């Protein structure tokens, strides 16, 4: 008789420690319908979600198979509440950006396509219904009047499929609860050659729904939307997984959307190292680490936390492996072998500083014979950072003229 591996537990519960006790893998048919949910009660944002068919979520086995096969992760980004849209001008700019200044028609919660003029009328209606001001007083604590989400899929994904998946998800969890929204898919094509090659959808949501309930997006909602997006995307031929970075062996944090855009603008302006304030502070930290040969204290604390999390992941992964190996199913046994191999080959816990220091050391070892002086390069970079804005522009123009 084949022993069933539980489909009732989220892979995050399996591969993470909780209050010092690991989750026991067991067969629980009574709760199998809750697979893949954030909790058995559903998302706090969507109380009606508990009435949906929870068995349509990603099972732990599906997530584990996605991990070992290297399936691309579901990508959902939500803007920060304190940086949400709070003025009429900002709201129009956000909608205009999604519409690419009139090049793309936006779609609303009812499936209607809006041209640029119709989009302006819709935004005006949002402004009037929520009494959105033209400007904010200093230290204003006004809540966001609209929120922005981005759903991204891997390069090569069918843009129509991406759009359809987001449309279904948005209607299921926002439209069904009375929220108004506008969205459009962006991808590289002959009409928009400067777009990224990975299709992605921008979704702009009005903060108050038809009953006057305010949208309150939290981290658990982000996790929930990521998993649900992966599930729906599979229906349209896009294979996505939805797991945490720690479970996949990733210890470094990803860049924020703000930082990505600021660094991109910096490259366009200067053709030089990114000028984002975070990048500048990190560069200074790396310089100090190179001189002292040790990590900054805050970086050391971050490494300790990452190492502790990795330890928990490995402990719980071993429990899951033990259960898989007890199964009479050859598929479970094969998954155990693949998962064991994946865990064995996990990259070591390494902070961003450690990674850069390691790469610099490797580079120095290779270039030492050529007389390359990394410290001289650092001194040059420090000197460049002290240049005035006018000097940077002059150097940039000189480079452009030389290239011509």
| pLDDT score of 373 | 65
Whether residue 340 is predicted with pLDDT greater than 70 in this model: the reply is: yes
Whether residue 1 is predicted with pLDDT greater than 60 in this model: the reply is: no
By DSSP bridging, strand 113-114 and strand 200-206 are unpaired
Whether residue 298 is predicted with pLDDT greater than 70 in this model: the reply is: no
| pLDDT score of 244 | 87
- pLDDT tens-digit profile of 395-404? 777 777 777 6
**181: helix, strand or coil:** strand
- Per-residue pLDDT averaged across 174-196, rounded? 94
| pLDDT score of 81 | 80
Tokens found for residue 345: 């080959």
| pLDDT score of 223 | 87
- pLDDT tens-digit profile of 345-380? 998 888 777 777 777 777 777 776 666 666 666 666
Whether residue 233 is predicted with pLDDT greater than 90 in this model: the reply is: yes
DSSP string for residues in 194-217: TS-SS-EEEEEEESB-TT-PBP--
- pLDDT tens-digit profile of 104-142? 999 999 999 999 999 999 999 999 999 999 988 877 788
pLDDT-derived band at 7 (thresholds 50, 70, 90) equals very low
Whether residue 82 is predicted with pLDDT greater than 90 in this model: the reply is: no
| pLDDT score of 400 | 75
What integer best gives the mean pLDDT of the chain? Answer: 77
Between 308 and 187, the higher pLDDT residue: 187
184 DSSP β-pair partners: 202
| pLDDT score of 24 | 30
| pLDDT score of 398 | 76
- Per-residue pLDDT averaged across 238-253, rounded? 86
In sequence order, the 6+-apart residues with CB closer than 8 A to the CB of 373 are none
Whether residue 301 is predicted with pLDDT greater than 50 in this model: the reply is: yes
Whether residue 335 is predicted with pLDDT greater than 70 in this model: the reply is: yes
Is the CA virtual torsion 215, 221, 226, 232 positive or negative?
Answer: negative
Between 262 and 214, the higher pLDDT residue: 214
- pLDDT tens-digit profile of 20-57? 223 333 333 333 333 332 232 333 333 333 333 344 57
In sequence order, the 6+-apart residues with CB closer than 8 A to the CB of 330 are none
CB atoms within 10 A of CB 6: 22
Between 282 and 190, the higher pLDDT residue: 190
Between 257 and 134, the higher pLDDT residue: 134
Contact 200/185 with Cβ under 8 angstroms? Answer: yes
C-beta pairs of 337-343 under 8 Å, 24+ apart in sequence:
338/65, 338/68, 338/69, 339/64, 339/67, 339/68, 341/68, 342/67, 342/68, 342/249, 343/314, 343/317
| pLDDT score of 90 | 95
């Amino acid at each position: 008789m084949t022993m069933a591996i539980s489909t009732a537990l989220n892979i995050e519960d399996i591969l993470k420690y909780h209050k010092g006790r690991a989750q026991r893998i067991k067969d629980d048919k009574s709760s199998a319908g809750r697979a893949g949910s954030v909790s058995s009660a559903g998302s706090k944002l969507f109380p009606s979600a508990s009435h949906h068919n929870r068995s349509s979520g990603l099972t732990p086995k599906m997530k584990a198979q996605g991990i070992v096969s290297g399936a691309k992760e579901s990508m959902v980004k939500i803007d920060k509440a304190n940086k949400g849209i709070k003025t009429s001008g900002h709201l129009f700019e956000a909608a205009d950006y999604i519409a690419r200044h009139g090049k793309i028609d936006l779609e609303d919660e009812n499936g209607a396509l809006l041209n640029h003029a119709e989009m302006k009328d819709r935004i005006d209606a949002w402004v009037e219904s929520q009494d959105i001001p033209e400007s904010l007083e200093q230290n204003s604590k006004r809540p966001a009047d609209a929120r922005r989400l981005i759903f991204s899929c891997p390069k090569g994904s069918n843009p129509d499929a991406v759009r359809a998946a987001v449309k279904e998800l948005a209607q299921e969890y926002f439209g069904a609860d009375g929220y108004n929204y506008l969205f459009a898919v962006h991808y590289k094509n002959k009409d928009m050659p400067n777009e990224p090659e990975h299709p992605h959808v921008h979704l702009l949501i009005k903060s108050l729904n038809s009953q006057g309930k305010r949208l309150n997006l939290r981290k658990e909602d982000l996790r929930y939307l990521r998993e649900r997006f992966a599930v729906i995307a599979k229906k349209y031929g896009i294979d996505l997984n939805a797991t945490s970075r720690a479970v996949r062996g990733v210890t470094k944090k990803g860049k924020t959307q703000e930082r990505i855009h600021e660094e991109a603008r910096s490259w366009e302006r200067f053709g030089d190292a990114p000028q984002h304030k975070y990048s500048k502070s990190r560069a200074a930290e790396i310089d100090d680490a190179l001189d002292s040969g040790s990590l900054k204290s805050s970086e050391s604390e971050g490494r300790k936390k990452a190492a502790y999390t990795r330890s928990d992941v490995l402990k719980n992964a071993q429990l899951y492996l033990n259960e898989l190996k007890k199964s009479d199913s050859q598929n479970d046994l094969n998954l155990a072998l693949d998962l064991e191999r994946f865990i064995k080959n996990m990259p070591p816990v390494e902070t961003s500083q450690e990674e850069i220091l390691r790469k610099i050391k490797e580079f120095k070892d290779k270039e030492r014979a050529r007389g390359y002086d990394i410290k001289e390069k650092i001194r040059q970079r420090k000197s460049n950072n002290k240049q005035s804005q006018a000097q940077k522009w002059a150097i940039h123009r000189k480079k452009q003229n030389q290239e011509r």
